[in-house]
Structure formats: structure tokens, C-alpha cells
Amino acid sequence: MLDVHRLRLLRELDRRGTIAAVAQALAYTPSAVSQQLAALEREAGVALLERSGRRVVLTAAGADLARRADDVLALLEQAAAAVAAGRDGLTGRLRVGAFPSAMRTMLPRALVTLGREHPGLELTVSELDPSAVPDALRSGTLDIGLTQEYDYLPARPDPALDQELLLAETIYLAVPVSDAHPSSGVEPASAVPNGRGGDDARQLAQFRGASWIAGTPGTLCYRMTIRACEAAGFTPRVRHHADDFGTVLALVAGGQGVALVPKLGTDGAPGDVALLPLAARRSSYMACRRGSRQQPAIGACAGALRAAAAAHPVTAGSVSAS
């Protein structure tokens, strides 16, 4: 009988490519991962790994088993969900992960609903970058989480996860009001057609010489800023790094640069910041491990998140924040 935990490690090796990457993602030592994979080979009775220089690669049998792992793990999640459905009331721990702007806007409403309707649930919330959510779900440290993709950074489907679109937001170019005034040489948002691609590039290119404010390198927001500017024909000169959009907008208001900010991040924007709408969108999804959607607690959380997202306005706002 194949050990499910070891099967999960094989799947992660297939996804990440190196034992070191698997160990780092799942908080193991590389030697522990190697030992577990060697034990899986003994269980399978066939070589699953082979050396290629200094790397370990999957054999044909290993690759086939790794591909089947997602289906096996999904069936186990479905079985756990069926057992949980037979219990009276919702109890136990539910681990939720969300990005900062959702933590400040949508998530409180959802948590209040869950706490009122299901007081037996022990809710645990973690704030983390959306790029870290898939790993946390696959490793089992989260039960449900919010992920994202930008028009400039489309995400590849993850066969280990179920995802559902929650909302799609306008992305704004946040600039000091003085830079959005006709006398500055930059067209105000009302004068810029809001079409896809070329119009976004034209608007962004007007600020190719500006200082930019972006997230911490490696985060999704940082990569989106770089990619959007590159699509407009230039590499932004990033002067400040900040992950909280309130801080970003305060820096913009202080004349420290310009930034890209999605709608959820514009709540409470200073009045001396102009928000120039772009055609590009940020899409937010709720995600869980494949097969776990029928877990009663996850289903209740998903319903609360849908209601919170539906109640939050995400349409394009006015030219300047108030």
C-alpha cells in the first residue's frame, strides 16, 4: 500500500523540480524528503527517481504516479467531506488565508457571518501574499484561501485545487493630483479612453520617467507592476517598496511616486491622490484542495465569502479619491 503522505511529496517534486524546493515549501529537511521518497520507491517496487547530474528527475513510472496523485488525494478529501457531513453542527478548526486588501474589506464581513451562524467553528485567519496560498493549501496548512491573477499575469490552472471567481476589480494608476492636471502635461483620466492593451500602455508610458512604488520583490503585486510597465515599453524605476495599499497611497500623496492599486486597495485614499482607471483587471478567487469543497465548514465559508464579495463595490470609481 502506498503511503499518502509520501505520494504528496512525489507530487510536489514533480511540480517544483528539486528536492530542495520541496523541502523548503513543506518545512522539511532535504534529507527527510529524500528518505520519504526512497521509502515510496520501496513500496511501489519500481524506480521512481533517477539522477541526472546533480539533480533528481522522475522516471516514466514516477511521473505517471505523480500525475495520479492529484486524483488520489482528491478522493481522500471527498471521503473526509462525506464523513464530516454526517456530524451534527459545524465544529473544529477552519484555517483561512487572505491577501491584505481582502483582510481589510471583504473578510471581516464573512467572518462575522460565520461566527454568528456557526459558533462552533474555530476560525483561524492568516494574512499572506496570494502567490503563497496555493502552496499553503496543498501542504494542508490552509483549508480555504483567496488567490489572485492579473490580466498581465495570468495564472496556470492548478490540478490540485478547486477555484471559484469571487470578483474582478478595476486597477488604477495612482498619481498625485498635481500630475493628473492638464498643466502637468499628463492627461486626466476623464480624457484618456479606457480601452484594453494599447490605451493602458499609453497611459502608463506617460509616467516612464516617474519614481514608482511597488510591493516587495517576489510578491504578485510587484511582478504585476513590472510586467504592466514592460508591456508599455519601459522598466519602472522603483523607488519605494510597500505591500500595504494604505501606505502606498500615502506615499503617492506625499509626492514619492506613482503606483498601481486595485479597487479594494483604494478605500480611504487621500483626497490629493488621483486614481486613473486602467482597462486591466485583478481577479480574485477562493480556492480549496480539490475534493474538499463539500466539507461543510468549507462550504459555509465559501458562501460567506460570496456574500461578502457581492456586497462590496468593485466598479470603477471617480477620477480622484475623496
The pLDDT value given to residue 69: 87
pLDDT over 80 (residue 312): no
Kindly report, residue by residue over 55-79, the tens digit of the pLDDT: 888 999 999 998 888 888 888 888 8
Beta bridge partners of 55: 52
Closest alpha carbon to 242 in 227, 225, 228? 225
**pLDDT bucket at 188, cuts 50 / 70 / 90:** very low
The pLDDT value given to residue 308: 92
The pLDDT value given to residue 51: 83
Domains within the chain, CATH numbers bracketed: 4-84 (1.10.10.10), 89-168+284-311 (3.40.190.10), 169-281 (3.40.190.10)
pLDDT over 80 (residue 91): yes
State whether residue 55 is helix, strand or coil: strand
Kindly report, residue by residue over 102-118, the tens digit of the pLDDT: 998 889 999 999 999 99
State phi, psi for 232 to the nearest 5 degrees. Answer: -90, 0
pTM of this prediction exceeds 0.85: no
pLDDT over 70 (residue 185): no
Closest alpha carbon to 58 in 2, 3, 9, 1? 9
The pLDDT value given to residue 84: 76
Kindly report, residue by residue over 210-268, the tens digit of the pLDDT: 999 999 999 999 999 999 999 999 999 999 999 999 999 999 999 999 999 999 999 88
For every residue of 127-165, DSSP letters joined together read E--GGGHHHHHHHTS-SEEEEEEETTBPPPP-TTEEEEE
State whether residue 238 is helix, strand or coil: strand
The pLDDT value given to residue 179: 79
**pLDDT bucket at 321, cuts 50 / 70 / 90:** very low
d(CA 94, CA 98): 13
What is the phi-psi region of residue 247: left when phi exceeds 0, alpha when psi lies from -120 to 50, beta otherwise? Answer: alpha
Q: What is the DSSP letter of 47?
A: -
State whether residue 87 is helix, strand or coil: coil
The pLDDT value given to residue 239: 96
pLDDT over 60 (residue 16): yes
State whether residue 229 is helix, strand or coil: helix
d(CA 275, CA 261): 9
Count Cβ atoms below 10 Å from residue 26 Cβ, excluding itself.
18
Instruction: Report the sign of the C-alpha dihedral through residues 74, 75, 80, 81, in that order.
Output: positive
pLDDT over 50 (residue 318): no
